[in-house]
């Protein structure tokens, strides 16, 4: 009886509510993480009648309209949803809003993924890239301050998660950069290729990247150049080692052009600062770049970007067999034409590029000339098939032509002028095609799964590869997200290793399997991320110390990365990146699987920045890294035939260099004088004047081992920049 009364009273109450409420449609709007969305604009397309959701995400829409209608739900920061409804509708409508890719995509946490730019949620802002102490406004060095990147030498090459730097693929507007670093010396490269002021955004994946990216075993750097300038401006900068200028012209009718030039000369720098090495010539170079953009609709753009670079350096190097200048000269250029548009709900992007590199190296009898040319066509389309599923598909076609000539010493440790060498002069060419498809599926409000696969085939290896990949992101609440990724990755060996004369033309594609598990925490003032990873390598192409190419190398790499970014009161920002890695791979010279030559067990970068009144900013960065492993020479025997000493090597990778430590300090002052904005900056690199060791050299009879110090002692660098607008 009590039950009957209960049912009856419920029925009466419901009927009364129905009669007193004329809402034609009721609904609830939630975000994909399950939280209610307040203030979402919910309306009928046919009549434009609408209302806003309350704090619980609920709305009641009143309308006299009856029959078929279209419900539209919009909220700033989310993709609008449009769905058919029949009015009146007694059932509650549930609407799920996905964060808008244009506004909130960077906050979508994915395993191994870091971004730099001015968008919300970026790991580093553009200015942090420029102002990272010791980074010298260098993109690669700023990326090195992110977790997963190891400090293997003092250069700008990107060694990521126990992998070689050749396993990192660097793209510019989707096109492959043939030389991602410049001014190479035996202990590292001086600088990256692309000026950060030319860039609009940087995407760095330390692993677990999606099927969109092919031909890379370890990591991806995807650089995006700036689009149409909003207004005309001109900038002139001068520093102790470089002068540069740029101009941006906003033309009528949504077009614009940019041009920039940069001249690098480290001569003045070495006159102010001592260097333990001799240079002839000091590192010099220049680059010019230009772009033209036509934004013919707010969502559509055609852009042409071109860059030409030249650089040259000679640095003194002492080896057991020879002491002299290591000389390297590089000329490179690149042009990329990109088009992007959104028609209806489909976004598409196409890139056509051509790039070439001409590099000449010489040290003793070692001479190597490398000419590479790459022509590439890439395309991508994205379609939000349903509110919870986005489909992407695309591909690339890349033609690579290579030519090598020179003389390589028969024994890698003997470059003396009278050493025996192998002469070679060869050319090669091959085309690689790759296609991929992936779906990004919001399975539940808190769970995002990306499943994809790609297949590639290169004429150089004559083998088609298949790479399935999956990643997931699960919101745990309270700003915490769990991430995981697994996938197969293939990469065509360097054209030189596949060269018929120098290398082995039968090498297969190299392969890696990556697994990643992580947790990301996002709070008001704190961002933290921990990731565990494991990689297994197969079919690695390797080079012995005598410059012989061997295939079939294996290896594995596992470790953990930690990232902390904290915004403290009083304008203080702090960042800490820590990477732990345990990496093994086949030692090419002995065939033994042992420590990888770039296994830097611990890498730490800690950075503190303080903004003061009067637009003064000061910052400090401290870097620590375990010394990298090397194979020591344990004895030597005299070879009367060539009148020289032949070294005997100890167990491969059985010793380590001393740990690397460095403190960099920097400061800048910003001022505005009418239409001119000025920035004066000063950096003290290696403030503690620590003599880091980057390799060892030996006496001619190998009885003595001497450390090769850093290219730089404590060094001052200063300059200014003026911008007219």
Partner 1 sequence: MKTMLVVAAAISAASAQAQSPNGRDKWADSARIEIEAATALGNLDRLRQASALLERALTALPDDPLLLHYLGYARYREATIMQGMKREEDEYRPLLEAADSLLERSASTLPLAESYAIRSSVLGQLIGSNPLRGMTLGRKSSSAMDRAVEVGPNNPRVWLLRGIGAMFTPSLFGGGLDKAEEYLDKAVALFSSDAPAPPMPAWGHAEAYIWLGQLHRRRDRIDEARQAYNRALELQPDNGWVRHVLLPGLDRAKS
Sites of contact with partner 1 (CB under 8 A): 39, 41, 43, 45, 47-52, 72, 74, 76-77, 103, 118, 120, 125-127, 131, 230-231, 233, 254, 298, 524, 571, 611, 614-615, 617, 670-672, 674-675, 677, 679, 723, 725
Identify which of 249, 353, 342, 335 has the alpha carbon closest to the alpha carbon of residue 296.
342
Distance of alpha carbon 162 from alpha carbon 409, whole angstroms: 29
For partner 1, the closer CB: 248 or 372: 248
Distance of alpha carbon 301 from alpha carbon 287, whole angstroms: 25
- Least distance CB 57 / partner 1 (angstroms): 14
- Least distance CB 531 / partner 1 (angstroms): 24
Question: Do the beta carbons of residue 325 and residue 314 sit within 8 Å?
Answer: yes
- Least distance CB 48 / partner 1 (angstroms): 4
For partner 1, the closer CB: 450 or 668: 668
Identify which of 716, 714, 660, 661 has the alpha carbon closest to the alpha carbon of residue 687.
714
545: left (phi over 0), alpha (psi -120 to 50) or beta: alpha
- Least distance CB 73 / partner 1 (angstroms): 11
- Least distance CB 620 / partner 1 (angstroms): 16
- Least distance CB 230 / partner 1 (angstroms): 6
For partner 1, the closer CB: 161 or 575: 575
For partner 1, the closer CB: 131 or 291: 131
**Residue 141 DSSP label:** H
Identify which of 557, 450, 501 has the alpha carbon closest to the alpha carbon of residue 219.
557
For partner 1, the closer CB: 38 or 308: 38
Identify which of 220, 215, 218 has the alpha carbon closest to the alpha carbon of residue 490.
215
**Residue 154 DSSP label:** S
**Residue 409 DSSP label:** E
Distance of alpha carbon 636 from alpha carbon 652, whole angstroms: 16
For partner 1, the closer CB: 2 or 64: 64
**CB neighbour list of residue 13: distance below 8 Å, 6 or more residues apart:** none
**Residue 281 DSSP label:** S
> Per-residue DSSP letters for 496-562?
TTT-TTTS-TTPPPEEEEEEEEEEEEE-SSEEEEEEEEEEEEEEEEEE-TTS-EEEEEEEEEEEEEE
Q: Which two tokens stand for residue 243?
A: 């002068």
For partner 1, the closer CB: 67 or 298: 298
- Least distance CB 47 / partner 1 (angstroms): 5
Distance of alpha carbon 319 from alpha carbon 710, whole angstroms: 16
Neighbours of 488 (CB within 10 A): 16
- Least distance CB 51 / partner 1 (angstroms): 8
- Least distance CB 359 / partner 1 (angstroms): 35
For partner 1, the closer CB: 348 or 723: 723
- Least distance CB 147 / partner 1 (angstroms): 23
- Least distance CB 137 / partner 1 (angstroms): 12
Distance of alpha carbon 716 from alpha carbon 239, whole angstroms: 11
For partner 1, the closer CB: 50 or 147: 50
Neighbours of 66 (CB within 10 A): 10
For partner 1, the closer CB: 615 or 638: 615
For partner 1, the closer CB: 17 or 614: 614
For partner 1, the closer CB: 227 or 394: 227
Distance of alpha carbon 321 from alpha carbon 182, whole angstroms: 27
**CB neighbour list of residue 630: distance below 8 Å, 6 or more residues apart:** 597, 653, 655, 656, 657, 695, 696
For partner 1, the closer CB: 39 or 658: 39
**CB neighbour list of residue 147: distance below 8 Å, 6 or more residues apart:** 206, 529, 531, 561, 562, 563, 577, 578, 579
Q: What string of H, E and C letters represents the secondary structure of 516-532?
A: EEEEEEECCCEEEEEEE
Distance of alpha carbon 602 from alpha carbon 578, whole angstroms: 7
Neighbours of 235 (CB within 10 A): 18
- Least distance CB 106 / partner 1 (angstroms): 13
Please, what's the b/e burial string for 165-187 (b: 16 or more CB within 10 A of its CB; e: otherwise)? Answer: bbbbbbbbbbbbbbbbbbbbbbb
For partner 1, the closer CB: 477 or 571: 571
> Per-residue DSSP letters for 584-630?
EEE-TTT--EEE-TT--SEEEEEEEEEEEGGGEEEEEEEEEEPPPEE
- Least distance CB 475 / partner 1 (angstroms): 17
- Least distance CB 4 / partner 1 (angstroms): 41
- Least distance CB 286 / partner 1 (angstroms): 25
- Least distance CB 306 / partner 1 (angstroms): 23
For partner 1, the closer CB: 94 or 118: 118
Please, what's the b/e burial string for 98-136 (b: 16 or more CB within 10 A of its CB; e: otherwise)? Answer: bbeeeebebbbbbbbbbbbbebebbbbebebbbbbbbbb
Distance of alpha carbon 601 from alpha carbon 467, whole angstroms: 29
For partner 1, the closer CB: 13 or 572: 572
Strands in 22-173 per DSSP E: 23-31, 41-44, 50-52, 58-62, 67-74, 81-87, 93-97, 113-117, 149-150, 159-160, 168-172
Question: Do the beta carbons of residue 647 and residue 591 sit within 8 Å?
Answer: no
- Least distance CB 231 / partner 1 (angstroms): 5
- Least distance CB 75 / partner 1 (angstroms): 10
For partner 1, the closer CB: 522 or 689: 522
Neighbours of 451 (CB within 10 A): 16
For partner 1, the closer CB: 229 or 559: 229
Q: Which two tokens stand for residue 121?
A: 């949620």
- What are the beta bridge partners of residue 224? 201
Q: Which two tokens stand for residue 315?
A: 């640095």
């Amino acid at each position: 009886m009590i039950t009957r009364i209960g049912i009856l009273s419920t029925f009466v109450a419901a009927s009364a509510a129905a009669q007193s409420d004329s809402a034609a449609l009721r609904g609830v709007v939630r975000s994909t993480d399950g939280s209610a969305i307040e203030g979402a604009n919910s309306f009928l397309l046919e009549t434009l009648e609408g209302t806003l959701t309350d704090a619980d995400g609920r709305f009641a829409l009143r309308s006299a309209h009856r029959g078929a209608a279209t419900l539209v739900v919009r909220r700033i920061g989310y993709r609008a949803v449009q769905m058919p409804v029949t009015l009146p509708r007694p059932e509650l409508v549930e609407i799920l809003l996905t964060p808008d890719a244009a506004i909130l995509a960077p906050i979508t946490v994915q395993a191994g993924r870091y971004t730099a730019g001015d968008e919300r949620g970026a790991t580093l802002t553009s200015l942090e890239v420029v102002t990272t102490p010791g980074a010298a406004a260098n993109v690669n060095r700023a990326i090195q301050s992110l977790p997963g990147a190891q400090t293997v030498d003092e250069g700008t090459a990107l060694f990521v998660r126990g992998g070689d730097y050749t396993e990192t693929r660097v793209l510019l507007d989707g096109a492959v950069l043939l030389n991602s670093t410049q001014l190479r010396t035996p202990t590292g490269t001086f600088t990256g290729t692309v000026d950060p002021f030319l860039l609009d955004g940087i995407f760095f994946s330390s692993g677990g990247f999606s099927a969109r990216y092919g031909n890379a075993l370890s990591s991806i750097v995807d650089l995006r150049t700036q689009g149409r300038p909003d207004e005309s401006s001109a900038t002139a900068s001068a520093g102790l080692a470089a002068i540069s200028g740029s101009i941006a012209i906003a033309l009528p009718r949504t077009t614009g052009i940019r041009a920039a030039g940069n001249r690098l000369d480290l001569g003045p720098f070495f006159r102010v600062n001592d260097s333990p090495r001799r240079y002839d010539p000091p590192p010099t170079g220049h680059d010019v770049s230009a772009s033209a953009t036509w934004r013919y609709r707010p969502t559509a753009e055609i852009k042409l970007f071109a860059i030409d670079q030249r650089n040259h350096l000679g640095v003194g190097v002492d080896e057991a067999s020879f002491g002299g200048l290591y000389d390297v000269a590089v000329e490179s250029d690149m042009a990329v034409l990109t088009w992007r548009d959104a028609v209806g709900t489909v976004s598409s992007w196409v890139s056509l590029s051509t790039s070439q590199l001409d590099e000449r190296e010489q040290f003793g009898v070692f001479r190597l000339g490398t000419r590479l040319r790459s022509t590439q066509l890439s395309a991508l389309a994205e379609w939000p098939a349903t509110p919870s599923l986005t489909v992407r598909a695309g591909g690339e076609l890349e033609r690579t032509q290579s030519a090598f000539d020179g003389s390589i010493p028969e024994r890698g440790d003997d470059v003396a002028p009278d050493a025996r060498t192998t002469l070679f002069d060869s050319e090669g060419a091959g085309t690689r095609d790759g296609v991929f498809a992936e779906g990004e599926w919001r399975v539940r409000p808190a769970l995002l799964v990306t499943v994809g696969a790609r297949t590639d085939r290169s004429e150089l290896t004559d083998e088609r590869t298949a790479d399935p990949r999956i990643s997931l992101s699960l919101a745990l609440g309270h700003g915490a997200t769990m991430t995981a990724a697994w996938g197969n990755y293939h990469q065509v060996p360097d054209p030189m290793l596949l060269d018929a004369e120098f290398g082995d033309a039968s090498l297969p594609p190299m392969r890696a399997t990556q697994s990643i598990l992580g947790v990301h925490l996002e709070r008001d003032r704190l961002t933290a991320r921990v990731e565990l990873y494991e990689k297994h390598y197969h079919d690695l192409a390797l080079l012995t110390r005598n410059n012989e190419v061997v295939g079939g190398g294996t290896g594995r790499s596992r470790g953990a990365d930690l990232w902390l970014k904290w915004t403290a009161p009083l304008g203080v920002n702090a960042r800490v990146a820590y990477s732990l890695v345990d990496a093994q791979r086949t030692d090419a010279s002995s065939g033994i699987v042992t420590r990888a030559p770039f296994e830097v067990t611990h890498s730490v970068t800690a950075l503190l920045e303080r903004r003061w009144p009067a637009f003064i900013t000061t910052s400090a960065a401290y870097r620590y890294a375990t010394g990298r492993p090397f194979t020591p020479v344990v004895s030597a025997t005299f070879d009367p035939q060539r009148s020289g000493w032949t070294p005997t090597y100890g167990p491969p990778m059985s010793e380590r260099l001393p740990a690397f430590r460095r403190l960099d300090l920097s400061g800048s002052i910003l001022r505005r004088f009418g239409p001119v904005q000025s920035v004066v900056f000063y950096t003290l690199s290696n403030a503690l004047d620590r003599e880091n060791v980057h390799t060892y050299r030996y006496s001619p009879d190998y009885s003595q081992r001497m450390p090769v110090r850093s290219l730089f002692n404590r060094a001052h660098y200063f300059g200014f920049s003026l911008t007219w607008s």
